C-alpha cells in the first residue's frame, strides 16, 4: 500500500536533489523566491512551507513528494511534485496535489499556482489549472516552463473538487496498491 502523509524538508530533499532536480546548479531550498508571473522576491525564502510524501509501506520507501507555501498576492505555490516512475499512473500525484490545493483553500488563499514543465502541463490542466504566461526558457534549468494557476473558491474549483476528489478525505490516509 502507498500512503500519503505530511513530512518535512529533510525527507523531501534527497528526492528533489537526486530525481526531480538531478544536476541542478542552483541550491535547493525549502521554498523559492520566484514570484507568480515572474521576477523574484527574497522574502519568499522566509515563507513557511508544507511537505507531503507518499510512502510504500512494504518497503517504507518514499515514492512521491510535494510541497506548498503561501506567496504574495494571496496565492499559494505548489512546488516540487515528483512520483517514482514505477508508481506513476496510480493517482498518487493527484492526491498529493489535492493536499496542497486544500491547504491553499483552508488558509484562505485566492489561488494555487505553479511553474510547470512543458511535459507536465497536461497533468495540471486535468486538475483545472490554466496557463497564465508564455513559455519561459531563460534563467530556468528545467524549462521550458510556464506559470499556471487554479483560482480557489470559484465555480471551476468546485467542479475540480467534485470531479477529482469527490467523497475523499483530504486529511486521512489514502492508499494505493501497486
Ligand atoms: C507528473 C507526475 C508527478 C505525475 O505523477 P502520477 O502519480 O503518475 O500522476 P497521476 O497518476 O496522479 O495522474 C493524474 C492524471 O494526470 C495525468 N497525467 C499524469 N502525468 C501527465 C503528464 N505528464 N501529462 C499529461 N497528463 C498527465 C494522468 O493520466 C491522470 O489523468 P486522469 O486523472 O484523467 O486519470 C509524474 O509523472 C512525475 O513525477 N514526473 C516527473 C517530475 C515532474 O515533471 N514534476 C512536475 C514538475 S512541474
The verdict on residue 177 lying in a domain is no
CA of 118 to the centre of ligand 1 (A): 12
The verdict on residue 14 lying in a domain is yes
* Whole-number Å distance between alpha carbons of 32 and 41: 9
The verdict on residue 25 lying in a domain is yes
Range of the domain at 162: 2-169
Encode burial over 22-42: b for 16+ CB neighbours within 10 A, e otherwise. Answer: eeeeeeeebbbebbbeeeeee
Closest Cα partner for 107 from 77, 131, 132, 130?
77
Residue 68 phi/psi, 5-degree rounding, is -160, 150
Closest CA to ligand 1's atom 32 = 126
Please, which residues have CB within 8 angstroms of residue 90's CB and are 6 or more apart in sequence?
2, 176, 178
Residue 160 phi/psi, 5-degree rounding, is -60, -45
The verdict on residue 174 lying in a domain is no
Res 114: pLDDT: 98
The verdict on residue 78 lying in a domain is yes
Our count of domains for the chain comes to 1
The residue with cell 480557489 is 152
Q: For the whole prediction, is pTM greater than 0.75?
A: yes
Res 158: pLDDT: 74
Please, which residues have CB within 8 angstroms of residue 22's CB and are 6 or more apart in sequence?
none
Q: Which residues of the chain have pLDDT under 70?
A: 161-177
CA of 162 to the centre of ligand 1 (A): 19
Pocket around ligand 1 at a 6 A CB cut-off: 20, 81-83, 88-94, 116-117, 119-120, 122-123, 126
CA of 97 to the centre of ligand 1 (A): 10
The residue with cell 531563460 is 138
CATH code, domain carrying 31:
3.40.630.30
Res 143: pLDDT: 82
CA of 126 to the centre of ligand 1 (A): 9
The verdict on residue 145 lying in a domain is yes
The verdict on residue 111 lying in a domain is yes
The verdict on residue 115 lying in a domain is yes
Amino acid at each position: 500500500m502507498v500512503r500519503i502523509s505530511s513530512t518535512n524538508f529533510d525527507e523531501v530533499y534527497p528526492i528533489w536533489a537526486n530525481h526531480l532536480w538531478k544536476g541542478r546548479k542552483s541550491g535547493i531550498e525549502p521554498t523559492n523566491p520566484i514570484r507568480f508571473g515572474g521576477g523574484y522576491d527574497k522574502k519568499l525564502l522566509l515563507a513557511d512551507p508544507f511537505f507531503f510524501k507518499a510512502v510504500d509501506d512494504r518497503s517504507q520507501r518514499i515514492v512521491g513528494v510535494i510541497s506548498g507555501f503561501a506567496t504574495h498576492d494571496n496565492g499559494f505555490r505548489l512546488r516540487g511534485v515528483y512520483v517514482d516512475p514505477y508508481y506513476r499512473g496510480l493517482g498518487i500525484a493527484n492526491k498529493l496535489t489535492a493536499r496542497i490545493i486544500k491547504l491553499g483553500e483552508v488558509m484562505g488563499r485566492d489561488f494555487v499556482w505553479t511553474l510547470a514543465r512543458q511535459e507536465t502541463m497536461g497533468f495540471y490542466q486535468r486538475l483545472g489549472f490554466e496557463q497564465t504566461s508564455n513559455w519561459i526558457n531563460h534563467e530556468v534549468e528545467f524549462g521550458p516552463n510556464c506559470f499556471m494557476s487554479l483560482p480557489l473558491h470559484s465555480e471551476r474549483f468546485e467542479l475540480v473538487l467534485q470531479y477529482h476528489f469527490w467523497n475523499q478525505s483530504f486529511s486521512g490516509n489514502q492508499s494505493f496498491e501497486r
